[in-house]
Amino acid sequence: MAVALDARFYRTLPALEEVDEVEVDIAWFVYDLVPNPVQNVNVLTLDKTVYTKFEAALLAITHFEAGNEARFIQRISTKAEKLGRLKMATIFPNAPLTLTSDQISEPAAQYSLFDDTLREAIVNVASVPQRSPFRYPGGKTWLIPRVRQWLRSFPRRPAHLVEPFTGGGIVSLTAAFERLADYVLMIELDPQVAAVWRTILNGEAAWLSDRITGFDLTPESAAAALRNTSGGTREIAFRTILKNRINRGGILAPGAGLVKHGENGKGLMSRWYPETLKRRILDIDTVRSRITFCEGDGIAVMYGWAERADAAFFIDPPYTAGAGKKAGSRLYLHSALDHERLFAVAGTLAGDFLMTYDNDRDVEELARRHGFDTLPIPMKNTHHAEMTELLIGRDLDWARK
Ligand SMILES: C[S@@+](CC[C@H](N)C(=O)[O-])C[C@H]1O[C@@H](n2cnc3c(N)ncnc32)[C@H](O)[C@@H]1O
């Protein structure tokens, strides 16, 4: 018998005992949607084939060990409330409305069918809402399930998530939308990128989204808009979004070329989705009371926040040194950084931090010298090959569970 199934669903199943091809009763074809950021499509790809006996597989799938009831109720309730249709009291009239941290920290093996974050080894980008108006070089959408896992690993939700190198801001936005921290502080040095965040977060989201939907994109109109240097912050924000959409790879640094052929030969238009951009921008407007943006040097802000034990720092700096995949590249206006200084400041933080870097020997050595924990984790590159990124923190045991 052959069964084709979705990789995310497969990962929620208990481990199936595998047998040799010659003994097989059921062949499980596990398919995944693998994002191809170059063409901006998801490609249905055979991830692996698993051979099992019929009875052993059936028994494994249908027999669960009972687990913690309170955690189950909490999870169902969160999902239901997200849907906005059901309230916990309707489903479980006697359910406690809040749980203590020891109830929440129980292992949740038996609830895996309801869990879309904890078990993903290689992360499918399609499972993470795209919330940023940017398509950002080095963007961390693929890391979001890990970030959720990290922010949920504390006994108490962090009061502040601080992101010193915000870029496209997917981590900050996800934290604000999913209430992974009470408040979010975003910092970015590039004035073009900063103009976008300042415009959206200072109450001009509607203006910016109207400017985008009202713009008739042609090669000529784009060139004219980008030649124009007049206007204040919000006009710079519009031009930044435009550039980010029509430059190859979303690169905003000087010297970036234009998208040539784009998706289906659509050229410049191929990544211009005005209605989608509008929706994302207006959505961010709904959570802006929880977000603060600061234009400046991320390391200096970390220094200023070093004594805040209730802050968590997500640190994704530009890294073009060493011999890694980004070596020598110029993806950002500000690509150079004193990594030694960054690590030194990270070592003084009272709050926890999570850094992410190219998995590079120099970086590993830097982390080792500062006494930090490191963990290489799989990511997918644009050619679907498996590559690793290096997570760095004080103690990454939460990521090993
Ligand atoms: C790797 S990118 C961050 C990508 C981001 N995590 C995302 O998902 O989109 C690094 C960012 O740091 C910014 N940057 C560089 N030097 C900086 C500094 N000293 N302070 C703040 N931001 C800086 C760059 O402009 C770039 O946007």
**What spacing in Å lies between the alpha carbon of 342 and ligand 1's midpoint?**
13
Alpha helices in 111-157 (DSSP H): 144-151
245 Cβ below 6 A of ligand 1: no
| CB 205 near ligand 1, within 6 Å | no
Start-to-end Cα distance in the chain: 34
Q: What CA–CA distance (Å, rounded) separates 285 from 232? A: 20
pLDDT, greater one: 114 or 309: 309
- List, in sequence order, every beta strand (DSSP E) within 114-205: 160-163, 183-188
For the chain, the domains span 69-119
CA 87 distance to own-chain centroid = 28
On average, the pLDDT of the chain sits at 82
Q: Helices 191-199 and 233-246 sit at what angle, rounded to 10 degrees?
A: 110
Q: In ligand 1, which atom is closest to the CA atom of 190?
A: 25
Task: Kindly give the pairing relationship between strand 386-393 and strand 352-358.
Answer: antiparallel
Q: Determine if ligand 1 sits within 6 Å of the CB of residue 370.
A: no
- Which of the four pLDDT bands, split at 50, 70 and 90, describes residue 33? confident
Query: Which pLDDT score is estimated for 60?
Result: 79
Q: Which amino acid is at 160?
A: H
Question: Ligand 1: does its nearest atom lie under 6 Å from the Cβ of 170?
Answer: yes
Q: Is the CB of 188 under 6 A from ligand 1?
A: yes
- Residue 167 Cβ < 6 Å to ligand 1: yes
Question: What pLDDT shows up at residue 17?
Answer: 83
Residue nearest to atom 8 of ligand 1 (CA): 139
Tens digit of each residue's pLDDT (9 = 90 or more) over 241-283: 999 998 887 888 777 777 766 555 567 777 889 999 999 999 9
What is the distance in A from the centroid of ligand 1 to the CA of 176? 19
- Structure confidence at residue 102 (pLDDT): 34
Half-sphere exposure of residue 245, counting CA atoms within 13 Å on the CB side? 25
The closest-lying atom of ligand 1 relative to the alpha carbon of residue 319 is 1
| Of residues 77 and 206, more confidently modeled | 206
* Residue 268 CB burial class (10 angstroms; 0-12, 13-18, ≥19): buried
Confidence of residue 320 (pLDDT cuts 50, 70, 90): confident
Whose CA is closest to 46, among 36, 26, 32, 28?
32
Which atom belonging to ligand 1 lies closest to the Cα atom of 314?
6
Distance CA 373, CA 394 (A): 5
Distance CA 29, CA 375 (A): 30
Which residue's CA lies nearest to atom 27 of ligand 1? 167
Model confidence over 383-393: pLDDT tens digits?
Answer: 556 788 999 99
